[in-house]
């Protein structure tokens, strides 16, 4: 029998605890599938309370995560501390430089520092595994990097954040507003006490930056991602979307064309009969468009103890089997710097909701501004009238460029008869 692969886990929170359980409880299964034992030999965690609730018999406990690097009996360092810098970054850098394999679920770390970490890993001939960093239990990194290796990928898009998807789903099902549903999600444990990374799109942007690199063979560039969240989506917008045959989803979309790469995160209206529109609650979904496969879709739980631990252990298993592929799909030295297409050059259709005083001539003023900015309207929706009072008016714009729409709406917002900022949601036809 081959020698055991010895693993040390740093961070025993939700994912770290789940990883420990899976490595111990499924040891026989993993050995049969990998052809060698995978042995948990050490953990690092400052909170000793976790000792009582995890299967840690015979496992060395360290208070300092960096001690895992100096431990002669640790082959793989699993970083589950979190954060884009600090101890997590240092642990990964030092471990890789010491010739130890590293596995992480840290999407912020990879999004911000993945280029440099990939270079170290490849220089030292070790693995940097991060399957758990994107979409939890969905094996999307392996699917794109390895399963679709023969495809030219034109576009990847998806629902990458279960918290936001839960909130939008519940708003649609109950008619309640964002703030109310967010509080419920926090009570249920679906949202953090500070939900900013989730509802403001940052978590999705981290994951999208990683997928862009893997799909297109370019260097990670988190700063190139256009990011918007869902705080401005109202129950009224969701009601109008339903009437128009759409569902509102927070999507990450990355695509490549002659002008370069678009990376954008924002609420989207998608046709209600599209497959991704039917992905509800805390579930994630990823779609990759390959030139040989067309669209392939992957759906599953994107977070939580067991799904994320499953992804962590899959990377450990690859190391046990001796599999080592370039971290980001191609050798780090060959990653390209593809130009970024600025958001103002994005072209698409738009949903716009205006709140207007119901007075004679108001819409003529709006129409004139749209004409002057070459923005064409496909349809208009208004229910009833309320003379001299504010009423919501929904317009659907034909495909046009972002800059023209922004300029037109800025002018419209300055009208005395417009009583609230225009609400804009981009329409995606999948």
Catalytic residue list: 207
Per DSSP, the three-state class of 53 is coil
Per DSSP, the three-state class of 68 is helix
What sign does the CA torsion over 322, 323, 327, 332 have? positive
- Please state, in angstroms and rounded to a whole number, the distance separating the CA atoms of residues 136 and 207: 11
- Please state, in angstroms and rounded to a whole number, the distance separating the CA atoms of residues 407 and 49: 57
| H/E segment holding residue 307 | helix 305-321
Bridge partners for 249 per DSSP:
268
- Give me the half-sphere count of Cα atoms (radius 13 Å) on the Cβ side of residue 246: 22
Q: Where are the beta strands (DSSP E) in 200-259?
A: 226-227, 246-257
Residue 78 · residue 42 · CB < 8 Å: no
Residue 312 · residue 105 · CB < 8 Å: yes
Nearest Cα neighbor of 5 from 119, 103, 88 is: 103
Q: Using alpha carbons only, give the angle 397, 392, 389 rounded to the nearest 5 degrees.
A: 140
- What distances in angstroms separate CA 70 from CA 45, 106, 223, 349, 404, one per listed residue? 16, 22, 35, 56, 58
Helix-helix angle 235-244:162-174, to 10 degrees: 80
Q: What are phi and psi of 84, to 5 degrees?
A: -80, -15
* Sheet of strand 5-10: strand arrangement: 60-62, 38-44, 5-10, 76-79, 101-104, 128-129
């Amino acid at each position: 029998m081959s020698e055991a692969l010895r693993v040390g886990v740093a961070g025993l929170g939700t994912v770290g605890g789940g990883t420990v359980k899976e490595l111990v409880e499924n040891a026989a299964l993993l050995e049969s599938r990998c052809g060698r034992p995978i042995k948990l030999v050490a953990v690092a965690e400052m909170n000793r309370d976790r000792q009582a609730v995890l299967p840690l018999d015979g496992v060395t406990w360290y208070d300092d995560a960096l001690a895992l690097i100096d431990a002669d009996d640790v082959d793989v360092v699993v970083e589950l501390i979190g954060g884009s810098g600090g101890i997590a970054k240092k642990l990964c850098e030092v471990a890789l430089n010491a010739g130890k394999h590293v596995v992480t679920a840290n999407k912020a770390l990879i999004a911000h520092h993945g280029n440099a970490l990939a270079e170290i890993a490849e220089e030292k001939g070790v693995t940097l595994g991060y399957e758990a960093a994107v979409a939890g239990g969905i094996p999307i990194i392996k699917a794109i990097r390895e399963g679709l290796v023969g495809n030219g990928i034109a576009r990847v898009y998806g629902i990458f954040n279960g918290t936001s998807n839960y909130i939008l789903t519940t708003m649609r099902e109950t008619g309640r507003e964002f703030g109310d549903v967010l509080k419920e999600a926090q009570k249920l444990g679906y949202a953090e006490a500070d939900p900013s990374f989730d509802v403001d799109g940052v978590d999705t942007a981290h994951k999208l930056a990683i997928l862009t690199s893997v799909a297109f063979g370019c260097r990670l560039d988190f700063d190139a991602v256009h990011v918007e969240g869902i705080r401005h989506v109202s129950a009224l917008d969701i009601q109008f979307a339903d009437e128009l045959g759409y569902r509102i989803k927070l999507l990450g979309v990355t695509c490549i064309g002659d002008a370069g790469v678009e990376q954008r995160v924002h609420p989207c209206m998608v046709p209600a009969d599209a497959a991704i529109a039917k992905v509800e609650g805390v579930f994630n979904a990823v779609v990759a468009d390959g030139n040989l496969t067309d669209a392939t879709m992957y759906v599953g739980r994107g977070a939580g103890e067991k799904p994320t631990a499953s992804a962590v252990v899959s990377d450990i298993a690859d190391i046990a089997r001796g599999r080592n592929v370039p971290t980001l799909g191609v050798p780090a030295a060959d990653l390209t710097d593809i130009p970024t297409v600025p958001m103002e050059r994005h072209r698409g259709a738009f949903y716009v909701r205006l709140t207007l005083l119901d007075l004679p001539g108001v819409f003529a003023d709006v129409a004139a501004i749209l004409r002057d900015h070459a923005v064409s309207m496909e349809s208009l929706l208004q229910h009833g009238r309320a003379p001299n009072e504010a009423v919501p008016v929904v317009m659907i714009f034909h495909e046009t460029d972002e800059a023209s729409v922004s300029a037109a709406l800025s002018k419209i917002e300055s009208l005395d008869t417009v009583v609230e900022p225009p609400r804009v949601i981009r329409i995606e036809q999948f």
